């Protein structure tokens, strides 16, 4: 009997030791991938950053940016502050450049409902709630109270604009239920947008939209899997892409049989510094930002180290999405030009 208990004891502590070693390996490999702060990057970023408080400011934008045809914000779905950024970027670009066409990661049916909501003399909250609920079919992590509130605020803003400046939504995504074709989503997005521009005679109008992270990348892995922004550039459009990363933030993760979702549907382990998502070079942005803040960094100014490196675009995902391993001779600014860092963002809230 003593030998049996001794065996159990040895087995138990052996298992604990193995778990400890695996955890240590996991932690060390994460740290190695992310890397330490880089003095050259820090020196550059100090000169090309701003903190976003109540609104977007124009200190980091130049003529090259303003001459863009299409502006895109790429998010990892589920973080509340991205809804704030989306609204503020739309308002800023509307005021500064007269951008009034909002291209959306939704199908034309939901876009038409949103346009109907925006045009009504009184807020039709039931219609808006129907749109937000319908979005759950395509992007569960975006269907939320904050999304509902954002469009309510866009409605209020739209009421202050002249008819010629009012915001219109263009839904360019494939229909989740009806479209069973083999055409990729990003290819369909481009085709749907081009058809809208042609049919509505709005060629030359500047556009803005919020999409999932992958869709706004201006380089792809291969021609068969090019993101939406890459396809736009190949068609001759001048595109400016923002991406959003998070630190110490919570993600809304609706209940799903494939994921171990907590009871409150919020997780804090999908941030740019790990443990389940890793962005090489994120420590430089973290070093220059404060807790509970939103910071914007410009990556494509003169003498930018991001024009010759792959920091911030090399991404390892241990659970969500795919790894991003840039091809040789490509660099960060080939993929996007601006980065938002959200620190301590709350998760989106389920809309009851």
- The rounded distance, in Å, linking the Cα atoms of 97 and 92 is 8
DSSP for 220-248 reads: -SSGGG--HHHHHHHTT--EEEEEEEEES
100 and 22 share a domain?
no
10 and 79 share a domain?
no
27 and 143 share a domain?
no
Determine, yes or no, domain membership for 348: no
Determine, yes or no, domain membership for 349: no
Report, as ranges of residue numbers, the positions in the chain whose pLDDT lies below 70. 1-33, 176-180, 221-224, 257-259, 318-321
118 and 49 share a domain?
yes
Determine, yes or no, domain membership for 350: no
Determine, yes or no, domain membership for 351: no
- The rounded distance, in Å, linking the Cα atoms of 92 and 86 is 10
Residue 288: the pLDDT is: 97
Specify the CATH number for the domain of residue 318: 3.40.50
Residue 182: the pLDDT is: 77
215 and 74 share a domain?
yes
30 and 50 share a domain?
no
14 and 126 share a domain?
no
Query: What CA–CA distances, in Å, run from 22 to 15, 28, 29?
Result: 11, 10, 10
Determine, yes or no, domain membership for 195: yes
- The rounded distance, in Å, linking the Cα atoms of 135 and 176 is 10
The answer for residues whose C-beta is within 8 angstroms of residue 78's C-beta and 6 or more apart is 141, 142, 251, 252, 253, 270, 347, 348
Domain that holds residue 317: 41-343
Residue 25: the pLDDT is: 42
Contact 315, 277 (CB under 8 A): yes
- The rounded distance, in Å, linking the Cα atoms of 262 and 250 is 12
Contact 72, 241 (CB under 8 A): yes
292 and 191 share a domain?
yes
278 and 306 share a domain?
yes
Determine, yes or no, domain membership for 112: yes
Determine, yes or no, domain membership for 352: no
- The rounded distance, in Å, linking the Cα atoms of 210 and 328 is 28
- Look-up of token digits 């074709």: 181
pLDDT digits (tens, 9 = 90+) for 20-31: 544 444 555 566
214 and 317 share a domain?
yes
Residue 323: the pLDDT is: 84
* Number of domains the chain is built from: 2
Residue 261: the pLDDT is: 79
- The rounded distance, in Å, linking the Cα atoms of 334 and 341 is 19
243 and 193 share a domain?
yes
Determine, yes or no, domain membership for 192: yes
Torsion of CA 196, 199, 203, 209, to 10 degrees: -20
2 and 74 share a domain?
no
């Amino acid at each position: 009997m003593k030998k049996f208990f001794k065996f159990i004891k040895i087995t138990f502590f052996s298992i604990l030791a193995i778990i400890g070693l695996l955890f240590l390996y996991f932690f060390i490999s994460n740290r190695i991938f992310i890397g330490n702060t880089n003095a050259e990057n820090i020196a550059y970023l100090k000169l090309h950053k701003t903190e976003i408080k109540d609104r977007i400011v124009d200190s980091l934008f130049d003529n090259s940016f303003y001459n863009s045809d299409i502006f895109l914000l790429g998010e990892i779905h589920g973080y509340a502050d991205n809804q704030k950024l989306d609204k503020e970027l739309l308002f800023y670009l509307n005021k500064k450049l007269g951008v009034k066409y909002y291209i959306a990661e939704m199908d034309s049916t939901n876009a038409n409902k949103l346009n109907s909501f925006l045009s009504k003399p009184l807020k039709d909250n039931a219609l808006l709630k129907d749109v937000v609920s319908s979005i759950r079919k395509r992007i569960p992590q975006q269907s939320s109270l904050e999304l509902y509130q954002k469009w309510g605020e866009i409605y209020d803003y739209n009421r202050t604009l002249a008819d010629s400046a009012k915001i219109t939504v263009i839904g360019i995504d494939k229909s989740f239920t009806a479209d069973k074709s083999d055409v990729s989503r990003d290819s369909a997005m481009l085709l749907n947008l081009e058809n809208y521009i042609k049919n509505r005679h709005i060629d030359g109008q500047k556009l803005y939209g919020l999409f999932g992270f992958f869709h706004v990348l201006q380089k792809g892995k291969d021609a068969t899997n090019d993101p939406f922004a890459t396809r736009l550039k190949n068609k001759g459009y001048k595109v400016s892409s923002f991406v959003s990363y998070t630190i110490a933030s919570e993600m809304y993760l609706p209940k799903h049989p494939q994921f171990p979702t907590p009871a409150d549907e919020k997780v804090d382990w999908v941030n740019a510094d790990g443990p389940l998502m890793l962005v090489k070079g994120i420590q430089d942005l973290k070093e220059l930002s404060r807790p509970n803040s939103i910071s914007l960094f410009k990556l494509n100014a003169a003498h930018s180290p991001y024009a010759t490196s792959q920091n911030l675009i090399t991404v390892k995902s241990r659970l969500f999405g795919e790894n991003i391993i840039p091809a040789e001779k490509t660099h960060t600014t080939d993929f996007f030009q601006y980065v938002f860092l959200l620190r301590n963002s709350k998760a989106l809230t389920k809309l009851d």
